[in-house]
Structure formats: C-alpha cells, structure tokens
Amino acid sequence: MTGLKIIVLAKQVPDTRNVGKDAMKADGTVNRAALPAIFNPEDLNALEQALRIKDSYPGSTVTILTMGPGRAAEIIREGMYRGADNGYLLTDRAFAGSDTLATSYAISCAIRKLDFDVLIAGRQAIDGDTAQVGPQVAEKLGLPQVTYAEDVLKYEKKRITIKRRLERGIEIVSTPVPCVITVNATAPDCRPRNAKAIMKFKHAKTITELQGADEDYMKMHDDRPYLRIEEMSVVDVQADTKWLGLSGSPTKVKTIESVVFQAKESKRLTSSKSDINALMNELLANHTLGN
Amino acid sequence: MANFYTDNKDLKFHLDHPLMKKIVALKENNYVDKDKYDYAPVDFEDTMDSYDKVMEIIGDISGEIIAPNAEAVDAEGPKVVNSRVVYAKGTQENHDAMANAGLIGISLPRKYGGLNFTITPYVMSCELVSRADAGFGNIWGLQDCAETLHEFANEEIKDEFLPRFNKGATAAMDLTEPDAGSDLQAVMLKAHYDEKKGKWLLNGVKRFITNGDAEVSLVLARSEEDTTDGRGLSLFVYDKDDKTMTVRRIENKLGIKGSPTCELVFKDAEAKLVGDRRLGLIKYVMSLMNSARLGIGAQSVGISEAAYREALQYAKEREQFGKPIIQFPAVYEMLTDMEVKLKASRTLLYETCRFVDMYKAYNIVAEGRKLDKEERAEYKHYVRLADVFTPLLKAITSEYCNEVSYDSLQIHGGSGYMKDYPIERIFRDARITNIYEGTTQLQIVAAIRGVSTGSYLKQIRVYEAQELKPEYDYLRRFLIDMTAEYETTVSNVLDINGKEVDNDYLDFHARRLVEMAGNVIIGYLLLNDTMRDSDNEKFAELFIRKGRTQNKEKAMYIENFELKNLGVFKK
C-alpha cells in the first residue's frame, strides 16, 4: 500500500496559557509582544495523529501548512523537528485582519494547489477559540469532515476510521479520503522534538528569511533542497482579495471589555458545622460545585 | 512548561567555554561528516548551536516528563516478573521519550546512529536528567557502555551492538559480585571457551548490578583458569536476546528506587569477548569506571541543583514568626552555602569534562592518522589531568551533594522529614552518590596520586598564570597563600620519616590533602569564571574565603600531628 499524503493545518498563537499582567493592551487587544509565540496546542495533537499515520503506513508524508506573518515559519520548523517532512507558509499583507471565514477561504485556495489525502487540524486555536476554520475549510473544499477526533484507528481500502470523543461517550466513524479531521486536546500529546531532526532542519528557511544570508549559507541551501520552506502569496494561491483581510471578514468586533477579576466582598465564616453547611449549600445553589 | 536547561543559565555558560572550539574541531575532524549525514554540523558555530538545541530538548523532557514522573517511580519501583525486570511505568515513559527523541548514543559516531557529541554536552545531559530523577539518571548514564564498546571492541561487535543504542537499547556494566565489591580483582564469574560451539560461555552470579536486565551488558569475568588477580579477568558483551541470563532478585534500597539493582545468574550464557583477554579489568573496566565516575559527578550536581531549588522555594514560601523563613540569617546562610557548593561542583565538573574531551578527541584523531609529537604530548597531558581530576570530582561533588541535600531537608524542618515534599526523596537519592562507583574513601586513594606526584600543583600553577581582571587580584593573593600552605603541608606529610614516604601516614592524611588541593583548584576555577561572567564574583569570593579557613584548619591539624599519633586511632 502506498502511503498517505497528509497536510497538517497549524497556527502560531500567543501563549495565552501563561498570561501575566501585561497580556492585554489598554485598548483591550492582545499584547502579542508580551506573550511568547507558540505552536497552537491542539495543532500539536493533530500533528501527532499525522505522524502516527506516517509511522503506520510507510511512504506517507506530513506537510505543515500555516498562515501568518514571516515569523510563523518557526512553527513549520517546530513541526519538522517532530517529524514533519516539509511545510508551506501562506503569507501576504492581503491576509492581514482576516476572520475565520476569510482565513478558511485563503487556506482552501492554498490547499487546492497541493496534493493530499488527509487534512488534519487542531480543533481550535487558543487565541480565538472559534473552532471554525477546520470545518469551514472542509465545506469550501466539499470534503467530508470528522471533528472531535481523538485517534485515527486505521486506513484501509481508501477509507479512514476515526475515534471521536463526544460529550457523553465515544463514537467510531469511517470516511473515504480525501477528508478533513479536527483533533481534540484529549488525543495523545505530540512526541518531543527529535535530536537528529532538529539538527537536520534547524537551517530550514523561507526565501524571505534567507535574504542577506552569505554565499556559503546559500550554497548549503542549494545543496539541500529539503531546507526550503515554501512561501505562498495571494497570487500563488490565486485567491480573490475581496474575500480576504478586512473586506472578506464579516466578523466585526463591536466592543472589547477588559475583565479584571477582583474580590468585591468577603465573608467571614467560623469553623462551626452550620457555617460550613451554609457555605456548601450556597456553592451548590450557584453551581460553583456540582453541575 | 519547565525546561531544566533554559531555566539555568549556568549550563550554557559552561557549555560555551572557549576550549570547546579546540575540542569540537578535533572531534568533528574538519566536519567530514557534513556531506554524508544531513544532521552533521557544517562548522563550529553550527555544532555549538546543535548542542544548545539538543540540550533544550533534554531540558524539556527532564522538566516535563521525567521530573513529574519521579514521585510515582519512587513509590512504585521496578519489579521482577518471570526472572525479568519490569520498570516502573514512569521509568519506561522516561526512557521511551529519550529514545523517541533520538537521544541515546549521544556521543557515538554518526555511522552507528549516534549524534557524535563531545563528552561535555553528554555529561550535561546526565546533570539535567539527574536533577529530574537521580534514579533515572543511572539508566540514562549507562549508555557509557556504548563508549567502551566503541573504544575497545572489534568491528564485528561494534557493528552488531552500537547501532542498537540510538534505537533505544539500554546498557549495564556487570562488575560486582557478592565477594567482589570495591575489590574487583576478586571477581569469580567464570568464562570458558567452548571449542565445540566456538563461543565463550559465562557461569556465575553478579550482584548489585544497576539496570542488570539491560539489552546490552558488559560482563567482567575470569577467563584465565588458575588465576586469582585482576590479570585473569576479561570483558565480555552479553546480548539480552539470548535469554540465558536471569534476574534472581532486585534489591530494596534507600533511594534511587527507580533504578533496578539486580542479582543476576549466568548459566552457560553465550557472550563475546571485548578486546583482548586479560585486559578486562586493568584496561577496559578502568576506562569504563572513569566515565562512570564522571557520570556520578554529573548526577551529584543534578541532585544538588534539585535540592537547592527545593530549599529556596520552601524558604521563600514558609512563614514563621510573621515572615518568610528566608529572611532569617540562619536560613539564608545555609542557602547561600548550598548555592556556593553547587557552583563549585559544577565548575569542577565541566573542567574535568573538557580534560576528558581533549584526550578522547585525540583518540579519535589517532584512529585516522598518527598524532604528531606536539599532539601526542598534549594527549598525554590531558590523560594525566583527567586521571587526577576524575576522582577529585567524584569525591567532592558527591560529598557536596549529600551536604546540600541534608541542609535542604533541614530548611524544610519537620515537613522535610515527611513524604509530602520532594526533598525527602532527593535526600535518600543523594546518599548513594558517595558510595557507588567507588566510595569517597577509594576516590581519595586514587586522588592522592595527584598530590604526591605534584600533578595538582602543576595545574594550580597553570591557573595561577591565567589572566584575571585586576579587581579580583585580592582573591588571587588568597589563593597564592593557600597554595604555599598546601605545598608546605604536603611536604610535611611526605617527609615525616626523613627519607621514605610513610604510606600509612600519607593515607591517614590523604583526604585532608586532597581537599586542600580541591579548595585551591575550585577557587581558581570560580575565579576564572568571573572572566566570562562577573556574576560569578560572589561565588568565587565566598568559596575562597571559606576554603581558606578550611585549609588553615587542615594544615594546622597536620602540623600538630606526629607519626606516633597514628597509634591512637588504630583499632
């Protein structure tokens, strides 16, 4: 059996899990400079599923596709360190300000240019928390989609079998390829970076990153074509700019409220049984505890 | 998001030592591998960048996987099922993470699937892993055995065994027996050559074997009939796949519980001879033990780091008498003393690593061509330095690691005595470091040669001549005084009889003399560290001040000690 061509959709996001005081700017937008840029966590779960397919079906390849500014090339390298074979960076000023609809349009245009059997993405990104891009891409490409995936079980006779983690149980489904899968955080963690892969791919660069490199470095890149991270622009993917950026994004932010958590009132309890019972009843009544 | 490499700037500081340029140039041999292997470096900067990035992976796995597993591994421990060792669940996870990250065989040549790293980053990996879980540090550190095979085994054995390491094979060195512990010359396990099978067969029992059920075991055995000493012993490699060696039991230990300590039974177990007969103990095991001692030095530094951090955090959080206990002089003095010992251990560790690296790199060069006269001289110089620094390192860092863990537990008070805090485990783990791979007392037996032959003094003179910032001259003057005092004390001991050295007398004072030399050496190393980072000044000053007082005490004790006083101590 020949292997599968897998594309993993990944996003570079600000690390919102460890927010400090300066995580938000005064105007209520995210202060990206204060937060480290990381590989979106559920996209790492997605990458692990892709790598497991690659391990089980020799000849498979894993390609990372990301959309973002030039520095997002870093997560393509991150993916390569963990076992991905190559990557594409979809980058253009025209993409700036895109909401999920415009983003999924741009990504679907890029994917039409690529050859693939399976598209795997994380369920959602930790900056926007929308969980819309994966499903929208599937719709735009007219492909079957499996969301909330936890484990890709097998691939046989052009069909892929997947375990889904749902609110009240699991579901095993099967779908023909090509298809789109979005993966939950409950799926296995991504494997660590591999020492040899890191040494092999640490010089992987986009053409933009190579600007100003010396002759020796360029020669190394000519000798080692696998070090090239391909850039794709609006023109490359033949996207219509009216569906991109702000003009292609119906989502408009109306207002942003900066929520500051603070204790407004305090209550003093004694250690008596009645005080504790009263507190427990209150917590149960306002659903702080239980369902 | 714990990363034990990036959260500790000392590590990169030691990794980036100027001598690395020479070491890497020798080891990478003009970067000949760059066209053969896609992961080989193209130049010095590229090599150092790879070291840095790989240390970051190990720091990540140590902080995110190994350390969180340590408590459960300590509680669960390994077990024996059907005469085979089964690791604790966390131990297996740790090992799998390291293997999947392609890290095992870190210093093996690329043609065997290794990363061809020098010893310094390898030893750093041992420090990182041991900070997370000292017991797992042993399983990780036993990849040293691959080095021994690489250095001494024939091509056929190398081709058979070495590529297995990077795929995840574990190793063990089967040396000790019930009646052969510190004295390995007494090894009895028998090896005989079966003419019919054309193979060596092993019969006998090994005891206290760390990770005894490993995939690849190096076994010290008596191959020469009618011999009783070390010259009748040879080294063999045994493959677990043969299944003729069984695990009789594993020990129930005070600490490093995740690391299985096995009693092994060999019954006609087929094995292959490593190198030449009769050189097993006197050459190969001596080399293996030196690497292992360096590894225990790293383990000790890792444990000290963990113990210090636990104490610091606890002292900041614990409030008594209305304030955090870190604000009390009795507590902050202990913490600073611990930190100084930690920095002292680490600078000695990486200095020793570089000496080992230098001569090992020359060994590799010598495989391809003859060394010229100058290179041979330099090679020998570093062999000698490594020989006297290794026991000094093992003795000092393992004792410090015990002291630091002891003080850390003390800072925790009653809570430290309970299983509620990691220090209880760290304290138990620390206790083995000054026992195994040769007790401190045996390290002193090896290190005293550095005193009596003048090797330490010679190296001290080299440090003395090194360039220093003028503002630290006052510290150098202290060290020069300490050196003079050391010289006088050494000659007092050596000349006590007038002409011949009294060996009992020398042995009696040996530890004092070695520690005096150690204090001067570490004082210089810390002082040199200020050249590249002035933050180290504080540690140099504190260490030298204390070392000076300790040396005066030892010098005075020896000065007032006569030969006849020995009798009072004899039992």
Closest-CA residue of B relative to A196 is: B39
Nearest by CB: A200 against B39, B61, B101: B39
Q: Which of B248, B279, B310 is the last residue of a domain?
A: B279
Range of the domain at A45: 5-243
A70 in B contact zone (CB under 8 Å): no
- Within a domain: B214: yes
Do the domain assignments include residue A256? no
Name the phi and psi angles at A62, rounded to 5. -120, 120
Does residue B442 belong to any structural domain of this protein?
no
**How do residues B310-344 score in pLDDT, each as one tens digit?**
999 999 999 999 999 999 999 999 999 999 999 99
Whether B117 is covered by a domain: the verdict is yes
Number of residues written out for chain A: 291
Using CB atoms, pick whichever of A18, A193, A200 lies closest to residue B57: A193
When divided into structural domains, chain B yields a total of: 3
Shared domain for B261 and B293, answered yes or no, is: no
Q: Kindly state whether A224 is in contact with chain B, defined as any CB-CB distance less than 8 angstroms.
A: yes
Residue B66 distance to chain A (closest CA, Å): 13
The domain that holds B538 is classified in CATH as 1.20.120.470
Same domain for B296 and B397, yes or no, is yes
B227 and B257 within one domain: yes
How big is the A-B interface in CB pairs under 8 Å? 50
State how far the Cα of B229 lies from the Cα of B211, in Å rounded to an integer: 26
Of B368, B395, B430, the domain-final residue: B430
Same domain, B41 and B86: yes
Q: Let me know if residue B438 belongs to a domain.
A: no
Could you identify the residue written with the tokens 């677990």?
B240
**Is A258 inside any structural domain?**
no
Residue B265 pLDDT greater than 70, yes or no:
yes
| pLDDT for residue A29 is more than 70 | no
User: In the prediction, which pLDDT does A98 show?
Assistant: 83
Last residue of a domain, one of B369, B399, B430: B430
- Give the confidence band of A180 by pLDDT, cuts at 50, 70, 90: very high
Residues of A in contact with B65 (CB under 8 A): 192
Residue A232 included in any domain:
yes
Closest CA in chain A for residue B106: A195
Residues B181 and B248 in one domain: yes
On whether residue A161 sits in a domain, the answer given is yes
Report the residue from B1, B65, B103 with minimal CB separation from A195: B103
Q: Give A148's DSSP letter.
A: E
Instruction: Tell me how close the Cα of B163 comes to any Cα of chain A, in angstroms.
Output: 15
Does any domain span residue A137?
A: yes
* Residue A17 lies inside a defined structural domain of this protein: yes
Q: Are residues B295 and B363 in the same domain?
A: yes
Domain limits at B292?
9-167+282-430
SS3 sequence of B470-510:
HHHHHHHHHHHHHHHHHHHHHHHHHCCCCCCCCHHHHHHHH
Amino acid at A37: A
Q: Are residues B38 and B59 in the same domain?
A: yes
Q: What is the CATH number of the domain that holds A167?
A: 3.40.50.620
How many Å lie between the alpha carbon of B47 and the closest alpha carbon of chain A? Answer: 9
Structure token pair of residue A102: 């415009």
- Of the partner residues B38, B49, B57, the one whose CB lies closest to the CB of residue A195: B57
Q: Do A197 and B57 touch (CB under 8 A)?
A: no
Instruction: Please state the rounded mean pLDDT for residues B193-197.
Output: 95
* B54 with A198: Cβ contact below 8 A: yes
**Which of B36, B39, B52 to mutate: most A Cβ within 10 Å?**
B39
pLDDT in tens, B504-533: 999 999 999 999 999 999 999 999 999 999
The answer to whether residues B275 and B314 belong to one domain is no
Q: Say if the Cβ atoms of B53 and A196 lie within 8 Å.
A: no
B403 with B489, same domain: the answer is no
- Coil vs helix vs strand at A60: coil
Q: Is residue B48 situated within a structural domain?
A: yes
Residues B137 and B246 in one domain: no
B2 is a domain residue: no
| Cross-chain residue pair B54–A200, CB shorter than 8 Å | no
- The structural domain count of chain A equals 1
Residue B280: the pLDDT is: 95
Task: Please compute the mean of the pLDDT values over residues A186-214 and round it to a whole number.
Answer: 93
Does the residue B333 lie in any domain? yes
Q: Does A196 touch chain B (CB under 8 A)?
A: yes
| Residues in chain A within 8 Å Cβ distance of B42 | 216, 220
pLDDT digits (tens, 9 = 90+) for B255-264: 999 999 999 9
Taking 90 as the threshold, does the pLDDT of residue B501 lie above it? Answer: no
Separation CA A244–CA A249 (nearest Å): 7
Inter-chain CB proximity A195 and B40 less than 8 Å:
no
CB A185 within 8 A of CB A42: yes
| Cβ–Cβ < 8 Å for B337, B407 | yes
Question: Are B475 and B403 members of one domain?
Answer: no
Nearest to B100 among A192, A199, A202 (CB): A192
Q: Please give the Cα distance from A80 to A116 (Å, whole number).
A: 18
User: Which residue of A191, A198, A227 is the best one to mutate when testing the B interface, meaning the one whose CB has the most B CBs within 10 A?
Assistant: A198
* B202 phi/psi in degrees, rounded to 5: -110, 140
User: Are B267 and B330 found together in one domain?
Assistant: no
List the CATH number of the domain containing B111. 1.20.140.10
